[in-house]
Structure 1
Amino acid sequence: MSDTAKVSAPPRRRKSASKRRANWFVASFLVLPVALYLILVLSPFAQAFQFSMTNWNGTNPDYKFVGLENFKKLFTSDLYSVYLIPALKHNAIMLIVVPLAVIALALFFAFMLNVGGKSRGGRMRGVGGSAFYKILFFFPQVLSVVMIGILWQAIYRSDEYGLLNALLAIFGVPLKSSGWVSDPSLVLVMVMIVMVWSSVGFYMVYFSSAMASIPAEIYEAAMIDGSSRVQTFFKITLPLLFDSIRTAWIYLGIIALDGFALVFIMTPQQGGPDHGSEVMGGVMYNFFSNGQAAMACAVGVILFFFTLTLMALSMRLTRRENVEL
């Protein structure tokens, strides 16, 4: 017995040495990507934390450490009520409305394009022209944010040449001469409509791909049992797409918190009127523009922890056991 053990020991040592060499070989390919990630991604985060505790103006290399003074100013001065509170409020509204609207519309369109048509030969199919509709809905994804903003500026024009006013005029609705994005009570809604419009196509294709992985036999069995399309959606499609929906919710939450580009392009005073569309990104931009880079970094740190907390809560609250097919 001992002789056998002695004979078998060297191969195990050779195997262990071979495994270590393989691990070092794989690690050698990770050195450059990890180094680039540390330099280009994590380093700016660390610098933002550092500058948020200084009086840096963005250009002067001679700055002083002031501790938490910038955060104290944000929460105790007029900046809190004029800038920070409206921005947090608007971002919170976007965080709820945009993901809900995009996911609901994308799921509906994906379901219709995959199993919403008439059944043929006992098999459930999508509506006619599904491939064309996928291309049509996905089209906004090929446009840049700037192009989308300019396009919807033309739609929201306050005169008779604005597409929205022209459509309303057909039905006898008077023109909104003050402008759709010049009304503080409407501007945020108008921006969120654009955000939903520009995002639905991508997530429709995303959910369509996820639905394609669901075996057709499950739908056919439900159809034989007499289930309606609504019952099929809520009892089969929705539970099996839960992980995809959770992922979409997280990414859409990040998009909602990062809506500054559209706000900057489409709204008066890049967040107006009367701070009606102010977002956290706009507050950061205003501080940078006014030579208060350290305050902008402090706002960025607040937004970082706000986003991190929300994503952690989303992951925790939506955690469940995987459904096996």
Structure 2
Amino acid sequence: MPSRTRSVVSGAALATAAALLSPAGAYAGPVPGPPAPGPEGGRWTAAPAPGGGTRPSARDRPYFYLEGAPGAVLKDRLSLTNPGGGAVTLRLRGGPTRAGGWISTAGREIRVPPRTRADVPFTVTVPGDATPGDHPAALVAEGGGRAATVPVHLRVTGPALAALSVEDVAVERRGSAAVIRYVLVNRGNTALRPRLAVDADGLFGPVLRRAARPLPGTLPPGRRMPLTEPWPDPPVLDSVDVRLTVTAAGGAHGTAETSCTAVPWGAAALPPAGLLTGAALWRIRRRRRAPEPRQEERAAPGPGPGARTGRQTTAHPAPAAASRAGTDT
């Protein structure tokens, strides 16, 4: 036969609970045992309320995670714990992003008696036109000369779109070094962790190759993030095409290019002959880049009378080994 446990509550505790069961809807319960200083040194704390009426601990969730469709009303509870010897009055609000405005707490001000925990209900009303994806927000508690922020990871269900672009690419010289400036833009509806690859080609070949690597941090939907890429050893005399390529999970991909010319101070006084030499070198490089004509194309005669002109397709002969194998069979 299951056992039943009876709790005995003193008159003072009942008075405390009655004071906190206000129209705001906050629920408070006495914290059992003597107050422990803990990592906050005996000061009040704010955290997601644990389940089952237990005390918050390091094993509990460190943030809120809520998920729903546009138009949904999501509910949870914020736990305010006051282990000190005096009452505190805490102000609650949502922030700091647009999604923080979707949060409504049961009360804007909550009085927490000493050695007491108050679990404050709150709701998140997702607008009907909210875009699917991640919408970061937070619950902020302020009082007693300090503030605590509890992250709210809100995800609106629906088709996810991963889209990323890189814009405003520019190269800025800084003495013998340079820096590449650019802006990443998350044009989708889900948070992204971008990866960046850098390529630069001068008149005489590649001058910079950096394989794709993760960038620090996460780029939220709709956010623009200005970034820089150091370039400690750029060429001192060259015309360079710089290309940035960014990728992220979900197929997000973006690329952008810019050009820069590195000319030492003395090169500005070059005579026209020097400029002609540079142009000749550029022409040689362009010629080397051009594909060599195939042997069949060089040997093929010109079109006879009545023949069609245009792009020709050359059939490559089968390897000799394959030909012999066919003969033996």
TM-score range, shorter chain: under 0.3
Q: Flag the structure with larger Rg.
A: 2
TM-score, L = length of structure 1: 0.18
**Structure in which a larger fraction of residues adopt helix:** 1
TM-score, L = length of structure 2: 0.18
**Structure in which a larger fraction of residues adopt strand:** 2
Q: Which has the higher contact order (CA 8 A, sep 6+)?
A: 1
